[in-house]
Amino acid sequence: MAVIRLVTLFAAMLLAFPATAERITGSARVLSGGILVIGGQWIYPLGVWALEDYETCGLDDFEVPCGRIAMGMLAAMVAGKQLTCDVEQFPDDTRLWGYCTDAAVEPDSPIRVLNNLGRRLVASGWAFADTQHTQEFLGDARAGEVAGRGMWSMRRHTPDSVQKQVTGEARVVDETTLLIGNAPIRQYGIEAPELGQRCERNGHRIACGVLARAHLTSLIIGDAVTCELRRVTGDDRVFGVCGKAGTGALEGMAGTLNGLMVEAGWALAATDITDTYVSVEQSAQSSRRGLWGYQFLRPAEWRRGAQE
Query: Which amino acid makes up residue 210?
Result: V
Beta-bridge partners for 240: 187, 229
In the chain, domain spans: 2-156, 165-303
CATH topology of domain 165-303: OB fold (Dihydrolipoamide Acetyltransferase, E2P) (2.40.50)
pLDDT at 249: 67
Of 58-67, 82-91, 194-203, 271-280, the one with minimum mean pLDDT is 58-67
Identify the pLDDT of residue 3: 42
Q: Which residues pair with 50 in a beta bridge?
A: 127
What pLDDT sits at residue 6?
A: 44
R_g over Cα of the chain: 20
Q: Taking all residues of the chain, what is their mean pLDDT, rounded to a whole number?
A: 84
pLDDT for position 306: 58
Is there a shared CATH topology between the 2-156 domain and the 165-303 domain?
Answer: yes
Q: For 115-165, how does the pLDDT look when each residue is reduced to its tens digit (9 = 90+)?
A: 899 999 999 999 999 888 888 999 999 999 999 999 899 876 554 444 688
Q: How far is residue 240's CA from residue 257's CA, in Å, rounded to a whole number? A: 10
Q: Is the pLDDT of residue 20 over 60?
A: no
Say what the pLDDT of residue 7 is: 42
Q: Which residue has the higher pLDDT, 47 or 234?
A: 47
Q: What average pLDDT score do residues 192-216 get?
A: 91
Higher per-residue confidence, 100 vs 92: 100
Q: What is the 3-state secondary structure (H, E, C) of the chain?
A: CHHHHHHHHHHHHHHHCCCCCEEEEECCEEEHHHEEEECCEEEEECCEEECCCCCCEEECCEEECHHHHHHHHHHHHHCCCCEEEEEECCCCCCCCEEEEEECCCCCCCCHHHHHCHHHHHHHCCCEEECCCCCCCCHHHHHHHHHHCCHHHHCEECCCCCCCCEEEEEEEECCCCEEEECCEEEEECCEECCCCCCCEEECCEEECHHHHHHHHHHHHHCCCEEEEEEEEECCEEEEEEEEEECCCCHHHCHHHCHHHHHHHCCCCEECCCCCCCCHHHHHHHHHCCCHHHHCECCCHHHHHECCCC
184: pLDDT confidence band, cut at 50, 70 and 90? confident
Per-residue pLDDT tens digits for 221-244: 888 999 999 888 777 788 999 998
Pseudo-torsion of CA 229, 235, 237, 243, nearest 10°?
-30
CATH of domain 2-156: 2.40.50.90
Confidence at residue 211, expressed as pLDDT on a 0 to 100 scale:
94
The model's pTM is 0.68
Position 121 scores a pLDDT of 94
Q: How far apart are CA 107 and CA 109, in angstroms?
A: 6
243-286 per-position pLDDT tens digit: 988 777 666 655 899 999 999 999 999 998 899 999 999 999 99
| Residue 176 clears pLDDT 80, i.e. is over it | yes
As a whole-number percent, the residues of the chain with pLDDT over 90 amount to 49
